[in-house]
Amino acid sequence: MTDIIVQPIKTDSVDVAVTESNAALSEIQSIDVKDQLSYERVASIRKAVNTKMKGLDAQRKEITSPLDLAKSKVMELFKKPQDICKKILQTCDVMMIAYCDIQERKRKEEQDKLDRLAEKKRLEAEAKAEKAREEGKEDKAERYEEKAAEVMAPVAAPRVEKAQGVSYIERYSGEVIDFATLPDGFKMVDQSKLNKTIQAQKGTLPIPGVKINKTRTVSTRV
């Protein structure tokens, strides 16, 4: 296997750039643009600093390109075993969730059966109470009514014991089936598309519900 080597990084030129940039910042902060001469001086400084920035960016890339390459090799190195591990995890998840779903369905079926039996007992007790009342046996009717009120279905126990270190996270999501009835708070504007359309029309296209703003930036040719 080939070793991944990263060369030492020299930062002397950056220290010089910081000093020069601070000097340029002090100069630009001392200028009061009040005539054509001072305006052109600011433009000149901007052009020089813009050129400096491009040079610094080139130097930065000379440093980061080998680092990016090294990172790419590291990512590639670990990709295969990580992909295998991911496949194992996905397979385990599918198997475990499928088993739990089956057992939960069986538990619900058992619970439904217990609920039906409890309901049957409750109805039987209520019927006996009604019959006793018809026979004039009020005390007996009340006892049956109390018995009916106390009928509760037992809770079916979970059919899967929790494995040590394993937990399940339930996530819920929504699917829009009728956008027209969707509350306004959930309707999102495609800001990127909106800005591109306004820019393409240079702000001349009126759009209902939209205020068109204009800003101006400076561009310097090197």
Residue 180 corresponds to which amino acid? A
Q: Closest Cα partner for 3 from 68, 63, 73, 75?
A: 73
Mean pLDDT over 174-203 rounds to 90
- Tens digit of each residue's pLDDT (9 = 90 or more) over 102-149: 999 999 999 999 999 999 999 999 998 898 888 888 888 889 888 889
Mean pLDDT over 159-165 rounds to 83
Residue 111 corresponds to which amino acid? Q
User: Is residue 100 pLDDT above 70, yes or no?
Assistant: yes
User: Is residue 220 pLDDT above 80, yes or no?
Assistant: no
- Supply 159's token pair: 């059919």
| Least trusted range by pLDDT, from 19-23, 67-71, 158-162 | 158-162
Helical spans, DSSP H, in the chain:
12-29, 36-134, 138-150, 191-200
Write down the pLDDT at residue 1: 60
Cα-based distances in Å from 37 to 26, 33, 72, 219, 222: 18, 8, 51, 19, 20
The CA distance from 218 to 121, in Å, is 85
- Tens digit of each residue's pLDDT (9 = 90 or more) over 26-67: 999 999 999 999 999 999 999 999 999 999 999 999 889 989
pTM: 0.58
Mean pLDDT over each residue of the chain, to the nearest integer: 90
Cα-based distances in Å from 220 to 28, 95, 115, 162: 16, 62, 79, 66
The CA distance from 84 to 92, in Å, is 12
5: DSSP letter: -
153: DSSP letter: P
